[in-house]
Amino acid sequence: AQKVTQAQTEISVVEKEDVTLDCVYETRDTTYYLFWYKQPPSGELVFLIRRNSFDEQNEISGRYSWNFQKSTSSFNFTITASQVVDSAVYFCALNKGGGSEKLVFGKGTKLTVNP
Amino acid sequence: EPEVTQTPSHQVTQMGQEVILRCVPISNHLYFYWYRQILGQKVEFLVSFYNNEISEKSEIFDDQFSVERPDGSNFTLKIRSTKLEDSAMYFCASSVRGRGDEQYFGPGTRLTVT
């Protein structure tokens, strides 16, 4: 069975601090896909990034970066120089591939960035 | 930028009533999904739909639930006889391809069962 663990329930930082959101996943599949979604206070789910299990290259997009490490089954998300608009719940999700389309979500990490 | 839309944004219904939640997926997408999120909890998969049939469903998706694509644009979730525990935010999503593809979510319908 697939499982995603986001151990940090809530994180609070001051603007301009860097913050890392942890995600640990479990799957027996060799091909799988990992995602991060943002849920701002307005409630919608916004897609941020997708990674497949064969691509361990880290990715940077502006102030966002992602660190994928198969050896530790982790897919961590770092926000550099956080801003108040980054305040949201962030979900890590896993798709096991192999004919399944469903996303298995972690419980989310609520990030509050204070001015 | 194309987006998934959902109506209504909020639905209040009495226990035992039928509700239909509506979604318009992104037009060139071929795979459609419903998820739900009970308040303050994680997002849970309900069902995926491709080529006019259910391709996968979770244990939550029992006989009380059904999905339909009645025309070329709408995708609906019907709950036949609502229960208090069906109160949740229901998200529709769509993707171009199936497994591994990024799914784009609508804004959600908040269902309140009283």
- Residue A79 and residue A11 in contact, taking contact as beta carbons nearer than 8 Å: no
Give the Cα separation of B42 and A47 in Å (integer): 16
Neighboring chain A residues of B45 at a CB cutoff of 8 Å? 102-104
Mean local confidence (pLDDT), B47-67: 95
Give the closest of B43, B45, B104 to A47, CB-based. Answer: B104
pLDDT by residue (tens digit) across B26-39? 999 999 999 999 99
The pLDDT score that the predictor gives to residue B2 is 80
Provide the percentage of residues in chain B whose pLDDT is more than 90.
88
Cβ of A101 and B42 within 8 Å? no
Closest CA to B6 of B90, B102, B101: B90
Give the closest of A50, A52, A102 to B56, CB-based. Answer: A102
Neighboring chain B residues of A93 at a CB cutoff of 8 Å? 43
